[in-house]
Chain A
Amino acid sequence: MAFYSTAPEIQAGDTIIVYSSRTQLNPLVVTPGTQLQSRYGHFKHDDMVGVPYGSKFASSNGRGFVYLLKPTPELWTLALPHRTQILYLPDIAFITSYLDVKAGSKVIEAGTGSGSFSHSIARSVGKTGKIHSFEFHEERFTKAQIEFKDHGLDDVITLKHQNVYKDGFELKDEVDSVFLDLPAPWEAIGHAKEALRKDRQSRICCFSPCIEQVLRTVTALSELGFSDITMYEALTRDHEPATTLLPDVSAAIERIQGHEAKKERRRESQIAEAQRKREEKERKRKHDEESGAVDGAEEGEEGSKSKKARVEESEGVTEEDVTMEEGASTTAASTPAPEESTSAIANPPPLPTVATPSSSNNNGKGNNSNNKKQPYVNPNHHAPKHMTFRAGAQTRGHTSYLTFATLLPKEGGSTEDSAVAEKVVEAVASAAESGKEGQAATGPSAEVLAEDEEFPMTEGDEAALLAVDMTELVGK
């Protein structure tokens, strides 16, 4: 029975992670005699025993399958029951790295929350390390306590139900680093200082979602003598596979040319029509002039004839339009040069690549029925699909700002007084003004100074300047 099983196969009592999809991972304690029922099917726990970790596992009723994975803190983060907002991998990884949490480290964590960070750093410090975890919310504390015990982490994590603002950590010079995920970390930084070891550099990270919290935290860290204060934002951007059409631009050119040719033909047919009308009119006029006498019956007949012809012609043009459109768009084939179609009114030129063969017979009815059968098809549908990748829609990771600082062992002492944190400028100015009492420093520079009265400094001024220098370094 184990959470972090070392065996390659699943055993009864093991906690496993049931992976159903990228977004659906669930913890499961393998309990023979029971079965897991999900929309992916029924899975008998008995059948899981003896199956290698990492196996694809079929449901007993053939509805689907899942993968049976060995828990890691990372999978746990994705599978755990949320009691609070939790920390995710990018933040956890960066904090672990910056705080130099490693095998054997001793770390304070407050609050425990859902235990996502706890699991990760407990893994990282190992059996030689120690996590002191604090949670003031009783229900969360109780749940975390049971969870840590079940997961065999209770020897690495010492969990306390405690309000750290009020009661602190009850540790002195003990831990290498402190991680504060609290609404008001500044209330606990003093206690953190107490708990951090002073014989070497030790580190703190405060995790706050809002910049205003960061500012108050920074002020508190500074007042309490932490140095090297800085803040980071760690995020992760996903890259996902995607397919896109990547048509050659020549397809667009051909399509345009097709349309242009069609327009040109329509224009020409219109011109020809107009010309024909003009000629007819002219002929009629001449005829009228010549004959003088009006033969009503004849004229009427001829008129209706020409009307009919016109109708036919215009139908021809319409059909041609339709076929042209289809031809150009479905196949993007080359179209005949405009000149060829000049005489095309009565007898439209055959279009080389028409998708519907029946359209060439100029039979309106047949054409229509064909159109009905064929649904609209995206002309680019057959363009080769191009496999590519794009950044995921969401940037994951930002839950909070990470404010870091370092606590240094005391040394020197003389410049420790916070009073020395005076204004740079004042110090320099006074240094420039305050005569030449000589500099406490030693060696040749003191001699040089004695000669040069312009740069005398008192010891106090120097202390102030030293303080100032540090602000510069901190500011880096």
Chain B
Amino acid sequence: MSAEPAPALAPVAVAEPVASTSRPPKSTAPRPPPASRHLIREGDNVLIKLPSGVLKAIKINAKANVALGKYGTFKAKDLVGKPYGHTYEILDGGLQVLQATLNEIEETAANNENISSTGAQKLTFIDIEALRNEGLSGREIIAKQVEEHSAFELKTEYSKEKYMKRKEAKYLQVFTPIEPTVHNICEYNFEKDADKIRQLRPDTLSQIMTMANVRPGGKLLVVDDVHGMVVAAAVERMGGEGRILVINGVDSPPDLHLLDSFNFNPSDLAPITSMHFAATEEAWAPPALPLDLAETAGKTKNTRDIIKIKKRKAVYDKAKETRDEFFNGGFDGVILACEYEPYSVLERLLPSIGGSAPVIVYSPYLPVLYSLQTTLRSCPDFLAPSISEPWLRKYQVLPGRTHPEMAGMQHGGFILAAIRVFDDAEASSFASGRRAAKRRKLENKKVELEAEGDVEKRGVAAAAVDAAVGEAPCKTSTEAETVAELAREEIEEAAPVAMES
């Protein structure tokens, strides 16, 4: 929440105060008008897709070169003003756009009958290194390899193309600047270090955003232990309008450093505000430090002190505002993607959650959500808690070569969704009335039998309860579940009881 200029972007470390997110991202010089966020600008963050398929995050500094290892080096300024998505080849004179087309491949009679699996390539690794050292371009090396490949012409057209692709991925100096959209940044982090974002896959994140009804003007409570990935997605979907109240577990601003991977305009970040969990306690109070200039005016004339007090006052006011907002409640969406036990968090946030608000809990661990669901099912403040697991499969769709990608289906986490409701103890269903009557009857029977000391009819009671449950017309499926649960409890209670039916 600090409004003080924080030091330049501190990476991951949670304990450290990280660059405040309500500030414009730190970049060189004032930005050009924001309308062109879709074109690459000086100071922008850009993802670079390498021929190997790997994504690399860079920052455009017009004065510097971007080194892509074996894929070459180019001048960053060559990308400024360019759109995202083109594939460039690094040439000595600069960057050259490659045009994309899909090849239809002709069927030929060729097959691999006479191709031996080894020895067809006459160029050795050493030869190729030598060619490289001579300064041959990737394209030239590939041509040379094809020429030296004794069985190349025996290959099918498909096989030839695959061969070429493999070689191109290895030797060509090409790259594609990719726009840092929420989807792409999430994918980049998921592939690079999935644990960092708690295995939050882009499609999972998209479902969370949709389920939580994140929209311009929305009021969202977020507990984000994924370095701001969830907050960033919400920022993008709010477009500067609404509120994202981030609650974190340390006494410094939350770690939302993934926001710095985007090219947000300062106005986009306006909805973000934050407080820590201790401040959600009614009794919590900020440290008692002098805030009023009038009070201290007599004591100090020191300009530095005055500035300090002014700043402190600003921070205090902001914190108070945020806290008031929290306690005023009425938030219309909740997203948890945190390390804390989710029910302990929900319990705390409950008074601030508005009626009918979607409550979304993300976890990479299914059992965590299992136990949450078990708890919520007997909690009258949450309606229909349900767990789902997003599943995604990518396909290659080259002409004549359509198939699912071999790799890619990775675990992407689990989502529990529920709706915040207000209970009405008076509201009961017809069925629940009948159920209560039945339970009274059972209770009476139990007392009776206990008095008789007849404990031999174990099991009969349970069977009877089961039967009773089967009969009871349930008004809703949730209710049916409740009844089933109730019956289970009753079985345990009524175990030593018999009931003739």
Q: Shortest CB–CB separation between residue A401 and chain B, in angstroms?
A: 8
Q: How long is the Cα–Cα vector from A286 to B191 in the complex, in angstroms?
A: 95
Stretch from A118-126, A260-268, A276-284 forming part of the interface with B: A118-126
Residue among B139, B181, B373, B402 with the highest chain A CB neighbour number at 10 A: B139
- A56 and B203 form a contact (CB under 8 A): no
- A475 and B164 form a contact (CB under 8 A): no
Q: Type the 1/0 row for B404-423, where 1 means its CB is closer than 8 Å to any CB of A.
A: 00000000001000011111
Q: Does B225 contact A (CB under 8 A)?
A: no
Contact partner, A228, options B85, B89, B330, B392, Cβ 8 Å: B85
Q: Shortest CB–CB separation between residue B449 and chain A, in angstroms?
A: 15
Q: How long is the Cα–Cα vector from A355 to B457 in the complex, in angstroms?
A: 9
Contact partner, A239, options B161, B389, B477, Cβ 8 Å: B389
- B424 and A441 form a contact (CB under 8 A): no
Q: Does B98 contact A (CB under 8 A)?
A: yes
Q: Type the 1/0 row for A127-138, where 1 means its CB is closer than 8 Å to any CB of B.
A: 110000000000
Q: Does A387 contact B (CB under 8 A)?
A: yes
Stretch from A107-115, A145-153, A159-167, A419-427 forming part of the interface with B: A419-427
Q: Shortest CB–CB separation between residue B359 and chain A, in angstroms?
A: 11
Q: Does B124 contact A (CB under 8 A)?
A: no
Q: How long is the Cα–Cα vector from A476 to B102 in the complex, in angstroms?
A: 12
B174-204 interface with A by 8 A CB criterion: 174, 176, 179, 181-183, 202-203
Q: Does A381 contact B (CB under 8 A)?
A: yes
Contact partner, A470, options B84, B100, B377, B380, Cβ 8 Å: B100
| 5 A-B pairs with the lowest CB-CB distances in the bound complex, closest first | A103-B239, A54-B355, A126-B216, A97-B206, A58-B427
B63-83 interface with A by 8 A CB criterion: 82-83
- A56 and B102 form a contact (CB under 8 A): no
* Chain A interface main SS type: mixed
- B460 and A375 form a contact (CB under 8 A): yes
Q: Type the 1/0 row for A15-34, where 1 means its CB is closer than 8 Å to any CB of B.
A: 00001111110000000000
- A20 and B100 form a contact (CB under 8 A): no
Chain B residues with CB under 8 Å of A89's CB are 207, 210-211
Q: Does B135 contact A (CB under 8 A)?
A: yes
With A239-B366, A412-B99, A423-B103 given, can you name 16 additional A-B contacts, CB distance below 8 Å? Answer: A22-B386, A40-B475, A54-B354, A54-B356, A54-B383, A56-B427, A64-B476, A70-B355, A201-B38, A234-B391, A236-B391, A239-B370, A381-B459, A411-B97, A425-B152, A475-B396
Do A469 and B210 contact each other (CB < 8 Å), given the known contacts A52-B422, A53-B355, A219-B399? no
Chain B residues with CB under 8 Å of A41's CB are 430
* A5, closest chain B residue (CB): B356
A235-250 interface with B by 8 A CB criterion: 235-241, 243
- B210 and A93 form a contact (CB under 8 A): yes
Chain A residues with CB under 8 Å of B183's CB are 97-98, 100
Q: Does B426 contact A (CB under 8 A)?
A: yes
Contact partner, A471, options B51, B101, B488, Cβ 8 Å: B101
Contact partner, A445, options B135, B238, B429, B459, Cβ 8 Å: B135
* A411, closest chain B residue (CB): B97
- A126 and B241 form a contact (CB under 8 A): yes
Q: Does A474 contact B (CB under 8 A)?
A: yes
Do A234 and B354 contact each other (CB < 8 Å), given the known contacts A56-B422, A428-B142? no
* B357, closest chain A residue (CB): A54
Interface residues of B (CB under 8 A from A): 38-39, 51, 53, 82-87, 89, 91-93, 96-103, 106, 134-137, 139-140, 142-144, 146-147, 152, 157, 160-161, 164-165, 168-169, 172, 174, 176, 179, 181-183, 202-203, 205-207, 209-211, 213, 215-217, 236-241, 330, 332, 354-358, 366, 369-370, 373-374, 377, 380, 383-384, 386-399, 402, 414, 419-424, 426-431, 433, 456-460, 462-463, 475-479, 481, 488, 491, 495
Chain B residues with CB under 8 Å of A397's CB are 391
Q: Does A309 contact B (CB under 8 A)?
A: no
Q: Can you name 8 A-B residue pairings with CB atoms under 8 Å?
A: A53-B356, A54-B421, A62-B433, A199-B83, A232-B392, A234-B390, A237-B389, A239-B414
Q: Does A229 contact B (CB under 8 A)?
A: yes
Q: Shortest CB–CB separation between residue B422 and chain A, in angstroms?
A: 5
Contact partner, A475, options B98, B165, B241, B478, Cβ 8 Å: B165
Q: Does A452 contact B (CB under 8 A)?
A: yes
- A445 and B136 form a contact (CB under 8 A): yes
Chain A residues with CB under 8 Å of B202's CB are 97
Q: How long is the Cα–Cα vector from A21 to B422 in the complex, in angstroms?
A: 16
Chain A residues with CB under 8 Å of B172's CB are 469
A404-424 interface with B by 8 A CB criterion: 406, 408-409, 411-412, 415-416, 418, 420-421, 423-424
Chain B residues with CB under 8 Å of A403's CB are 397
Chain A residues with CB under 8 Å of B428's CB are 58, 62, 65
- B147 and A452 form a contact (CB under 8 A): no
Q: How long is the Cα–Cα vector from A41 to B430 in the complex, in angstroms?
A: 9
Q: Does A314 contact B (CB under 8 A)?
A: no
Q: Shortest CB–CB separation between residue A365 and chain B, in angstroms?
A: 19
Chain B residues with CB under 8 Å of A239's CB are 366, 369-370, 387-389, 414
Stretch from A188-196, A210-218, A299-307 forming part of the interface with B: A210-218
Contact partner, B101, options A94, A222, A449, A455, Cβ 8 Å: A222
- B419 and A54 form a contact (CB under 8 A): yes
Contact partner, B92, options A102, A127, A382, A443, Cβ 8 Å: A443
* B184, closest chain A residue (CB): A100
Residue among A64, A97, A128, A382 with the highest chain B CB neighbour number at 10 A: A97
A-B pairs with CB below 8 Å: how many?
Answer: 388
Chain B residues with CB under 8 Å of A374's CB are 457, 460
Chain A residues with CB under 8 Å of B98's CB are 415, 466-467, 469-470, 473
Q: How long is the Cα–Cα vector from A352 to B274 in the complex, in angstroms?
A: 68
Q: Does A472 contact B (CB under 8 A)?
A: yes
- A22 and B135 form a contact (CB under 8 A): no
- A377 and B460 form a contact (CB under 8 A): yes
- B478 and A21 form a contact (CB under 8 A): yes
Q: How long is the Cα–Cα vector from A469 to B146 in the complex, in angstroms?
A: 15
Chain B residues with CB under 8 Å of A103's CB are 215-216, 236-241
- A412 and B97 form a contact (CB under 8 A): yes
- B386 and A238 form a contact (CB under 8 A): yes
Chain A residues with CB under 8 Å of B481's CB are 241
Q: How long is the Cα–Cα vector from A449 to B57 in the complex, in angstroms?
A: 34
- A58 and B102 form a contact (CB under 8 A): no
Q: Shortest CB–CB separation between residue A215 and chain B, in angstroms?
A: 6
Q: How long is the Cα–Cα vector from A21 to B477 in the complex, in angstroms?
A: 6
Q: How long is the Cα–Cα vector from A238 to B366 in the complex, in angstroms?
A: 11
- A230 and B395 form a contact (CB under 8 A): yes
Q: Type the 1/0 row for A372-401, where 1 means its CB is closer than 8 Å to any CB of B.
A: 001101000110010111010001010001
Q: Does A296 contact B (CB under 8 A)?
A: no
Q: Shortest CB–CB separation between residue A172 and chain B, in angstroms?
A: 18
* B429, closest chain A residue (CB): A64
- A235 and B140 form a contact (CB under 8 A): no
Contact partner, B100, options A97, A355, A401, A471, Cβ 8 Å: A471
Q: Shortest CB–CB separation between residue A138 and chain B, in angstroms?
A: 31
- B383 and A19 form a contact (CB under 8 A): yes
Q: Type the 1/0 row for A183-209, where 1 means its CB is closer than 8 Å to any CB of B.
A: 000000000000000011100000000
Q: Shortest CB–CB separation between residue B168 and chain A, in angstroms?
A: 5
Q: Shortest CB–CB separation between residue A393 and chain B, in angstroms?
A: 14
- A235 and B143 form a contact (CB under 8 A): no
Q: How long is the Cα–Cα vector from A266 to B371 in the complex, in angstroms?
A: 50
Q: Shortest CB–CB separation between residue B21 and chain A, in angstroms?
A: 18
Q: How long is the Cα–Cα vector from A425 to B143 in the complex, in angstroms?
A: 10
Q: Type the 1/0 row for A417-448, where 1 means its CB is closer than 8 Å to any CB of B.
A: 01011011100110110000000011111001
Chain A residues with CB under 8 Å of B160's CB are 424-425
- A377 and B103 form a contact (CB under 8 A): no
Q: Does A90 contact B (CB under 8 A)?
A: yes
Q: Type the 1/0 row for A61-85, where 1 means its CB is closer than 8 Å to any CB of B.
A: 0111101111011100000000000
Q: How long is the Cα–Cα vector from A45 to B401 in the complex, in angstroms?
A: 59
Contact partner, A53, options B134, B354, B394, Cβ 8 Å: B354
Contact partner, A472, options B165, B238, B358, Cβ 8 Å: B165
Chain B residues with CB under 8 Å of A252's CB are none
